[in-house]
Amino acid sequence: MPFSKDTPVKQRAVIVAGVRTPFVRAFGSLMTLNTIALGTAATRVLLEKLGSAGTQIDGILWGGAILPSATPNVGREIVLDSGIAPTVEATTLSRACTSGFIAATEAAAMIERGEADIMIAGGSDSTSNAEVKMPPSFVHKTAPVVMNAKSGVKDYFRLLFNLSVRKDLLPQRPSIRERTTKELMGEAAERMARFWGITREEQDAFAVQSHHRAAAAMASGRLAQEILTVALPDGKAVSTDDIVRPDTSIEKMARLRPAFAKEGTLTAGNSSALTDGAAALLLMSEEKARALGFEPLATFRSWAYNAVDPADQLLIGPAISMPLALERAGMSLKDIDLVDIHEAFAAQVLCVLRALANDVFAKERLGRDSAAGELDPERINIHGGSVALGHPFGATGIRMLLTMANELKQSGKATALLGICAAGGQSVGAVLEAV
């Protein structure tokens, strides 16, 4: 829904708490936990925070991009595994990298409409456990024989001779590739970088900054307060992110090879890594929060979802959705204290920043005479971003909301602007304000 400051509401929705697992590189220490187990770990912490009020949860909204085919309603499985009453309804939302974010805005909308008082919104993904699938041709050829009770030995022998090892029997590797354009997301980001004139040096510098800021936030304890310790089946535990590189440098980044084009500018170092992780937020009506003794952290002032043609500039969406969110909030960039933009790639963030300051882009994409404006680098991703922290698709939006809500509360600042790009040319922008 196009929520704005002018939308009539019955009660104000506030973020009161949140938690996330460590964000760990795919096929690393969290590999044995699937997306349900990761989400359950985060949800149980929120249940502990709720105490006896846990019986008052109205519902769960969960986001994910890599959904298990046997149990695609991940949120419902989390309810059943976490100790929440089985009568609590749960819905799973899938909108690529914005999946967790839309879970949060929909939970807020339910509360604002008076349909709920306590909601959990979260997101998780385990790239390590992405399903390896057989080619569709394998199913098309085998199903008529296997599913036919009258099939005999001759039918099975005929089937075997009809199967091609290369076309029918080799499993398909999961790929972050657009269905319509067949383009990898990194390839699309390379095109954007060329269009906006973003250099390799600029990308590497931004990536180094992201790592250094994330490392500083970890060293100060700022991020540690958000991260739970995850117990593993083998008795070990994981308590810290493992992608952040405090000692990285421009020189180290420069030695990395292009990842998506022979003469390209995107590398593994200035791109977000495949990541496992989960994050969850506790949202309440402000009246309920104060009645239960919770101190609200932040509230949504506005949000805006948007989509662009994937064949054009796949990841430019935040340059549209963020100004729309500002407009719906009755604000401009100069009114914003903090900005948090999802770093799918350093190049993508830098392209978005260029577009926000470009009058031609504003006129063509937003129908405005002038651009939103330039952003002070000191206000952007002050605790690092996805390049340094990792990107478990469904969890990233929740992670960003949690970090910004905490930062508003602890810093005394008033507002934060958030933006996320996603596969399919989609995006979201939102304005958070302190309570």
Residues involved in catalysis: 97, 391, 421
CA distance 174 to 197: 31
Nearest partner of 239 among 22, 11, 14, 40, judged by Cα: 22
Per DSSP bridges, beta strands 118-126 and 426-434 are unpaired
Alpha-carbon distance of 417 to 341, in angstroms, equals 8
Residue 145's contacts (CB-CB under 8 Å, 6 or more residues apart) are: 151, 155, 156, 159
Question: Which residue from 67, 347, 85 is spatially nearest to 206, judged by alpha carbons?
Answer: 347
